[in-house]
Amino acid sequence: MRQHFLSLREALVALIRYFIMKCITTTLALVLSLQVIAQQSDLSVYDHLLSKTWLAQGSWGNGSPFYQKIEFKYNLDESIVVANAEGYIDQEQTQIGPRNHGIRQLDQETGEIKFWEFDVFGGLTQGTVEIEGRTMRYHYDYGGTEVTDEWKYLNDSTYAFTVGTYTDGTWNQVYLSTHFKEVKKPDIRAMYDFLKAQLVGDWISPAWDGQLLESWSVDRNGHLRQSAQYTEEGEVLYEAVNKIEIVKGEIVLFTVIKDSNPKIFRASSFRDDRIIFENPDYTNPNRVVYAFSENQGFNRTISGTENGKASTYTFKFEKLEQADKTE
């Protein structure tokens, strides 16, 4: 009987120990989960910036231009935020290309978000990020001056962007004031159809000491194709062919001047009346802009750098007699 009683007591003790260990395990799991959630919530201010492209343009206080296009993404199991930005990549501020690569990470010891920003010139800017709601302030040292970059939340597609010196909620000096706006994804097919409607036909433009004649058509595959001749006093000095196609969801311009290497430009910006093609890997041209007017003409502006200086040339095309250009 006594032995039976001891067995029951031992079983009860074992059961109590089991429940105690179960509670401890559950509590530890809950604490760890809360820590993970806390870490994620500290970086969650970037959540609504992800999978979007943000663009800001303006002028610094000294009149020099500012341009930045930036995209954010999580990496390393969402423990860091990576920011890749395009901007001016030359001292003359004429070429746009990959300029900055940034990292934002939660410091587990201090609870602060820290950032590192590497630029194409070999520089490194680092500091801390202050969060207030959806507004972010980047604090850092720049040449001995404490500078703040503020992304002030206005709505889900717009931030007021200010650079200057900031103390106790007050701007002491402002170096730059503009807005970051979400770049809306264009309707690629609609834009391509618009290009077809605008370009098909025969065109002429003054060019240097002669004229440029070109013909745009739509081939059997639905692609835009162009043939061009540059003439002076009736003599053909060079010939070129171009085509514009949709490749992997992007509008791409292929251009080949006879006896020269082909060049490829990706459409980077759209408006109702223009399309911009760019390729920062080239020097000149690295940018081609088609701007359409209401009088059925269009301008094509090519720009880049030549001998270290900015180079821009605009062809002003007028339409010749309309013909059926479908091959």
Are residues 204 and 177 part of one domain? no
Digit-coded pLDDT (tens) for 278-306 = 998 998 999 999 999 877 799 999 999 88
Assigned domain for 149 exists: yes
Q: What is the pLDDT of residue 154?
A: 97
Are residues 77 and 111 part of one domain? yes
Residue 269 carries which side chain, given as an amino acid letter? S
> Is the pLDDT at 2 greater than 50, yes or no?
no
| Contacts by 310-317, CB closer than 8 A, 24 or more apart | 310/92, 310/94, 311/284, 311/285, 315/205, 315/206, 315/207, 315/212, 316/205, 316/206, 317/203, 317/204, 317/205, 317/212, 317/214
> Is the pLDDT at 327 greater than 60, yes or no?
no
Digit-coded pLDDT (tens) for 141-168 = 999 999 999 999 999 999 999 999 999 9
Rounded CA-CA distance 133/114 in Å is 17
CA distances to 165, 181, 300, 303, 314 from 318, rounded to whole Å, are 51, 35, 11, 21, 13
Assigned domain for 168 exists: yes
Rounded CA-CA distance 265/88 in Å is 18
Assigned domain for 51 exists: yes
Which range marks the domain in which residue 246 is found? 188-319
The CATH number of whichever domain residue 291 belongs to comes to: 2.40.128.20
- What DSSP element (H or E) covers 319? strand 309-319
Rounded CA-CA distance 296/82 in Å is 44
Are residues 59 and 26 part of one domain? no
For the chain, the distance separating the N- and C-terminal CA atoms, rounded to the nearest angstrom, is 105
Q: What is the pLDDT of residue 90?
A: 87
- What DSSP element (H or E) covers 80? strand 80-88
Are residues 195 and 227 part of one domain? yes
Assigned domain for 326 exists: no
Are residues 59 and 24 part of one domain? no
Are residues 197 and 178 part of one domain? no
Are residues 170 and 101 part of one domain? yes
Are residues 197 and 127 part of one domain? no
Digit-coded pLDDT (tens) for 181-234 = 998 877 899 999 999 999 999 999 999 999 999 999 999 999 999 999 999 998
Are residues 246 and 211 part of one domain? yes
Are residues 192 and 171 part of one domain? no
Q: What pTM was estimated for this model as a whole?
A: 0.55
Number of domains in the chain: 3
Are residues 300 and 244 part of one domain? yes
Assigned domain for 324 exists: no
